[in-house]
Structure 1
Amino acid sequence: FVRENIQNQGRGKGMKKPSFRLPLFVLMGVGLFLGGYYQGTKQDEDSVIERALNQEIEDGTEDAIGTEASTPPSSPRPSQTDQLEDDKRIPKNVENLRELLYRAQSESNPILRYASFAKALENLNDNNLEEVLETFETMPFGFEHMQEYRMLLYAWAQFDPINAIEYCNRRASGMGAGFATAGVLEGWASRDPLQAKAWVERRENAGLDKIYNFGLVRGWASRDLNAASDYVFSLEGGKEVEKLVGILTEEVNKQGFATATNWAESLTEEQFKESAFSSLSKRHSRDNPKKMARWLEAHAEENYAIQAMDNLGKRWSETDPEAAINYFADLPPGKGQEMGIKSVVGNWAKEDPLAAGEWLNEREAGPELDSALSVYASAVSRKDGAAAMEWAISISDEKLQESTIRKVGQEWYRQDKDSVETWLPESGLSQGMQKVIRNPPKKNWWQSISER
């Protein structure tokens, strides 16, 4: 839809942008980690693949393994109630493997639960496999038992990966079986990467090999990082290969920040370099933002560092938005600076919209600030749609302005229909845009949570 009569706001130095007059408030975010390594039922392939690939790189999956602490000599004698609770715990010396696994399944303490599964599976072999599988049959082959099955398949792959893969195909189908098989390949590649690679490259695995490669590369990199890197860099593909570079980066990062950053800088393919930079910035920007900022500063004007700058802005602004915004404001103009400022303003506006608005008012208007204005207007619209609309109108890029007006207008309409109905006839918006604003889509549960 095209604007009809909206007049452009002043866009020079000292432009008076709309002020945001709301009480100071703090919005607490809720982080939910969704997705899963295994899916036991058929789902839409594109959405499942995207979610799984993103989780593989962005979050990773670490086993929660602990040990049961013994009672110190100085501790008081446990009560009868404590003793009853202790009786439910997994015994330290259980001869019956089946009993150990069944008790582990009923354990609600995650430390004890995963420690018990790890203990039971550390000596998995042909002789006790049938007994172990009998107990696993009682657990659904899905996300809720992802960690337990990952341990089983990794251990099984150490001596019989082919049968482990066949087991995955019996317990699941389609993408679910594919993700489970990737777990087998991780264990297989940690022992014999060349045989695992040969299996992945079989003709019948075409298509699913993109999923299988995630397990293959993860296991291979843990054994031989250089060989795994050569394999990844030899592949043809798009986003999935970039995500494999992210796995390599995570492995290099275990050798230290300096080694990891030197390795990332040494990559010659820009798409691989971008993936490595992005992976490192996700890993370090929240806990060590200043260290990451110092490293990225020398790359601020490079295209391969844009996503890393975006990551740095998002994570640094969660703890110190003013330090983050000052850092990005001092960078040379360019896409890296633009994306960093946008990310900081997006979070800052949720925590302190007044301070973020004042900072924007002090900046010289221009296209490089449009992205920040858009995210600020969107954030403000959840509390004050009228003020947010003024910010949306001040965006100079027509396409971005239009999309922001639509989003802000719909949010405002959800909050205060009568005020929007009064404003729309005088807004200068096209009839088409007005109709869209009057019909905002219903938000799902996840959208409502993620906007807090």
Structure 2
Amino acid sequence: MSSRTLTLVGAVAVASAGAFFAGRMTASGPAAGEHAAADAALSAKSGARGSGADAGDAAGGRRFGSDRDGKDRAAANRGEKAIARMEEVMRLTDPMERSKAWLDFINTIDPAEFESVVGSFRGQGLTNTRMAEYSMLLTAWAKKDPLQALAYAEANTGNRFARNTILTSWAATDPDAAIRWAQEHHTAGEGEGNPWMIGVIQGIAASDPERASQLLAEMPFSEERGEAMAALLPHLLAQGAEKAQAWVESISDDQLKQGAISRLAETLAIKDPAGTAEWLTRNPGEASQRSMDDVISAWMAQDQDSAIAYYKALPAGLDRSNALRGVANNLAMSDPQAAADFIDEHAADANDRVYQQLAWNVYGKDPGLAANSIAKITDAREQERMYSRMLDGWLRRDPQAATTWINGATLPQNVQQRLQRRMQEQQQRQQ
């Protein structure tokens, strides 16, 4: 891809980047009038420098000032024409026609015109539907003058989106320079990763996943590292599930590895829940325990008989209990009683997490069944916490049914006393 041409494939990739970061947008940017004022001030400042070039030669000074003024006017005219072309494209309503016209337009923008065009675009408001176009505009600017684009973004935007979009484009063509910029423009705080590395990693992930992985590993445990991982994983998956799994298994930082296992399992389970479940059993740990139920639940949605057969074939232990939770979670979505019955049939595999998850899954449809499952939790503190949260909500939603169940249940004494006080208070408010 040449530096002056954006292909449709590139446009789609940038649009995806826009979708990833769109949730971080917090402001629509300065209004067009603010940009106009800034441009006018800059022109006035430049004119003042030119007109005072040589006090001893008035004619020469006028000639120099006239030349500079002429260049400023020409640049302003070009910017106005570019904005007019942009506004013409933005009036198109057919999505395909507009996308093609937008690509054609951004390929014609001169580097000197980008600031005016971007300022005008932002001044009209950054809505979710226009984020892909904004991404493409920033990407095109980065291909022609990344430092100018970043300087503008630093001065005019108050969020990460613009700078990371520009860095993604820049890193794809000059990773060393983009990495230096990201390192030089970040002062690390406690528990904070370098936010600019997210764009850099996304930019080099396709061409150099090994280097992208190294940059990711160098980031401290943080929200930013999680975002950077999310940017890297799709590129690793493009090389195949086995290579992506091998990459995860090679990670030495256990926190990073567990996070990668969870994210990768979530993605792989959509197409291959059986293979993903097997992979999790080969990589025991916190992430495997958290993810197994989701993988089995996804498998149940595709092939219930195979998923249940897999659960039953597992040896007794934590993997089997986690798989039971996945089976029950899926059954509970359509038939809460069937889920509870299935757990009762396989009570030897049911641990506190199984009953806790069942309670939350069936509470909306059958709060009495949910409360019955809480009674089977063996951890007294967790059981009390679940009773308090669930029964309080049931009392507010359906006081008559909740009171009937509470009066007929055998509850821990402190739970019973607290609920009795709550029911009395509720009766007094109703009187």
Same fold (TM over 0.5): yes
Show the counterpart of 2:386: 404
Shift of the 410–122 alpha-carbon distance from structure 1 to 2, 3 Å rule, reads: farther
Q: CA deviation at 1:217?
A: 0.9
Q: Which residue does the alignment assign to 1:40?
A: 26
**Partner amino acid for 1:226?**
E
Distance in 2 (alpha carbons) for counterparts of 1:436 and 1:197: 59
Output the CA distance in 2 between the equivalents of 1:168 and 1:436: 55
Cα deviations across residues 329-378 of structure 1 (Å, max 9, x unaligned)?
A: 43344444444433442332012223222211101256x53212222222
Q: Structure 1 pair 162/431, CA: closer, same or farther in 2 (3 Å)?
A: farther
Of 226-235 and 129-138, the range deviating more from structure 2: 129-138
Of the candidates 235, 241, 257, which is equivalent to residue 241 of structure 2? 257
CA distance in 2, matches of 1:35, 1:431: 49
| Residue aligning to 2:4 | none
- Give the equivalent residue in structure 1 for 2:105: 120
Residue number in structure 2 paired with 1:83: none
Q: Does 1:347 align with 2:333?
A: no
SS of the aligned residue for 1:236 comes to coil
Check the 8 A contact 2:368/2:405 in 1, yes or no: no
Deviation at residue 34 of structure 1 after TM alignment: 10
Relative to 1, partners in 2 of residues 1:297 and 1:161: Cα closer, same or farther, differing over 3 Å?
same
Of residues 345, 352, 363, the one that matches 2:346 is 363
Return the offset for 1:113: 3.9
AA aligned opposite 1:352: D
Task: Give the match for residue 184 of structure 1.
Answer: 166
| Native 8 Å contact 1:406 1:436 kept in 2 | no
Q: Distance in 2 between matches of 1:260 and 1:438?
A: 58
Letter in 2 for 1:315: A
1:287 aligns with 2:241: no
Report the residue type matching 2:27 in the other structure.
Answer: T
CA contact (8 A) 1:125 1:156 kept: no
Going from structure 1 to structure 2, the CA distance change for 1:228 and 1:384 (only over 3 Å counts) comes to closer
| Partner residue in 1 for 2:145 | 160
Cα distance in 1, alignment partners of residues 89 and 393 from structure 2:
48
1:388-413 CA-to-partner distances (Å, cap 9, x unmatched) read: 21122122222332232233313422
The structure-2 alpha-carbon separation of the partners of 1:203 and 1:188, relative to structure 1 and needing over 3 Å to count, comes to closer
SS of aligned partner of 1:379:
helix
Deviations 1:90-135 (A, max 9, x none): xxxxxx8656533443445544444443343345441542563365
Change in CA separation of 1:377 and 1:234 when aligned onto 2, cut-off 3 Å:
closer
Hey, what's the Cα distance between the residues in 2 that align with 1:439 and 1:292?
A: 51
Q: Residues 153-195 of structure 1: CA distance to partner in whole angstroms, max 9, x if unpaired? A: 222112222332233344432xxx2232222211121121111
Residue 430 of structure 1, CA deviation: 4.0
Q: What secondary structure is seen at the aligned counterpart in 2 of 1:391?
A: helix
Counterpart residue identity of residue 234, structure 2:
E
CA distance in 2, matches of 1:118, 1:435: 67
The residue that corresponds to 2:130 in the other structure is 145
Deviates most, 178-187 or 333-342: 333-342
Paired residues of 2:336 and 2:362 also in contact (CA < 8 A): yes
Deviation at 1:425, TM superposition (A): 5.2
Kindly tell me: are residues 203 and 260 of structure 1, through their superposed partners in 2, closer, same or farther at Cα, counting changes over 3 Å? closer
Q: Distance in 1 between matches of 2:419 and 2:278?
A: 44
Aligned residues of 2:194 and 2:219 also touching (Cα < 8 A): no
The reply to whether residue 377 of structure 1 matches residue 362 of structure 2 is: no
Structure 1 gap ranges (5+): 1-32, 43-95, 441-452
SS of equivalent residue, structure 1 residue 223? coil
SS at match of 2:133: helix
State the one-letter code of the partner of 2:106: L
User: Contact 1:271–1:304 (CA<8 Å) still a contact in 2?
Assistant: no
Inter-partner Cα distance in structure 1 for 2:20 and 2:330: 21
SS of alignment partner, residue 355 of structure 2: helix
2:364 is aligned with 1:393:
no
Count of matched residue positions in the alignment of Structure 1 and Structure 2: 350
Q: Measure the CA separation in 2 of the matches of 1:146 and 1:195.
A: 26
Aligned to 1:11: none
Further displaced range: 341-350 or 149-158: 341-350
- Please say if residues 269 and 276 of structure 2, whose CA atoms lie closer than 8 Å, have aligned partners that are also in contact: yes
Are 1:297 and 1:331, in contact at CA under 8 Å, matched by a contact in 2? no
Q: Indicate conservation of the 8 Å contact 2:311/2:324, yes or no.
A: yes
Q: TM-score, normalised by structure 1?
A: 0.67
Does the 8 A contact of 2:328 with 2:342 survive in 1?
no
Q: Which amino acid aligns with 1:270?
A: D
Alignment identity in percent? Answer: 25
The change in CA–CA distance for 1:210 and 1:166 in structure 2 (over 3 A counts) is: same
Higher Cα radius of gyration: 2
What corresponds to 1:331 in structure 2?
A: 314
> Which deviations, in whole Å up to 9, do the C-alpha atoms of 1:199-258 show, x marking residues without a partner?
121265445863222111111213322222222223333454355344333211111122
Structure 1 residues 289 and 434: alpha-carbon distance in aligned structure 2, compared to 1, 3 A threshold: farther
**Aligned in 2, Cα 1:391/1:153: closer, same or farther, shift over 3 Å?**
same
Cα 1:125–1:34 change in 2 (3 A) is closer
- For 2:6, the equivalent position in structure 1 comes to none
- Give yes or no for contact 1:285–1:316 (8 Å, CA) kept in 2: yes
Consecutive unaligned residues of structure 2, counting only runs of 5 or more, are 1-18, 29-80, 427-431
Aligned AA for 2:114? L
Q: Does 1:236 align with 2:242?
A: no
Q: Are the aligned partners of 2:217 and 2:253 in contact in 1 as well (CA < 8 Å)?
A: no
CA distance 1:434–1:112, shift in 2 (3 Å) = farther
> Is this contact kept in 2: 1:281–1:308, CA < 8 A?
yes
Structure number with the higher helix fraction is 2
1:105 to 78, 90, 93: 90
